[in-house]
Amino acid sequence: MIFGKAGTDDIPELVRLRLEYLAEDHGGLSEEEKGRISASLPDYYMRRLDKELFVYTARNEEHIVSCCFLLVTEKPANPDFLNGLTGTVLNVYTEEPFRRQGIAGKLMKELLDDAKAMGLDYVELKATEDGYPLYKKLGFADAVNKYHSMKFVF
């Protein structure tokens, strides 16, 4: 497994993985949804990749099999985020044959190390029931609703 960050050459793979993630998370996607989402994603990735969107990947010999996204947002500082920089984790996804091998955990650790180095005040996410144990193990704390809202405070 090769771990790293996605670049613009990886955009077709990122679109594919995003659609797989969304289909699984939403119980499927209509053809219209797939079409509209896949049409908008390449431009989004081209404009934001390695600026405020950082994508951590694991590859086998053929393609990207796992990824997680860190979206960095700058906000006016307040007591909860004195630096004004926060992160949101999105699209943590591993293809079925590669699950339960520690890949997502390794990607998340890289993401959190980079977030700390960037000076982010915290990283938050919404966890599914399947992902919840991993995030707790990594040090996230939760507030319960349909998803588990969590943040990692530096």
- Tokens 């989004």 locate to 44
Q: State the pairing for strand pair 85-94/141-144.
A: unpaired
Tell me if 127 sits within 8 A of 100, measured CB to CB: no
Residues β-bridged to residue 74: 85
Report the CATH number that the domain containing residue 13 is assigned in CATH: 3.40.630.30
User: Does residue 140 register a pLDDT over 90?
Assistant: yes
Tell me if 67 sits within 8 A of 14, measured CB to CB: yes
| Domain count along the chain | 1
User: Does residue 30 register a pLDDT over 60?
Assistant: yes
3-class SS of residue 18: helix
Task: Count CB atoms within 10 A of the CB of residue 5.
Answer: 16
For residue 106, what are its two tokens?
């390794």
pLDDT value, residue 42: 97
User: Does residue 151 register a pLDDT over 90?
Assistant: no
What are the phi and psi torsion angles at 26 (to 5°)?
Answer: -105, 5
Question: What is the tens place of the pLDDT at every residue in 33-64?
Answer: 999 999 999 999 999 999 999 999 999 988 99
For residue 74, give its domain range: 2-153
Strand segments, DSSP code E, in the chain are 2-5, 53-59, 64-74, 85-94, 122-127, 141-144, 148-153
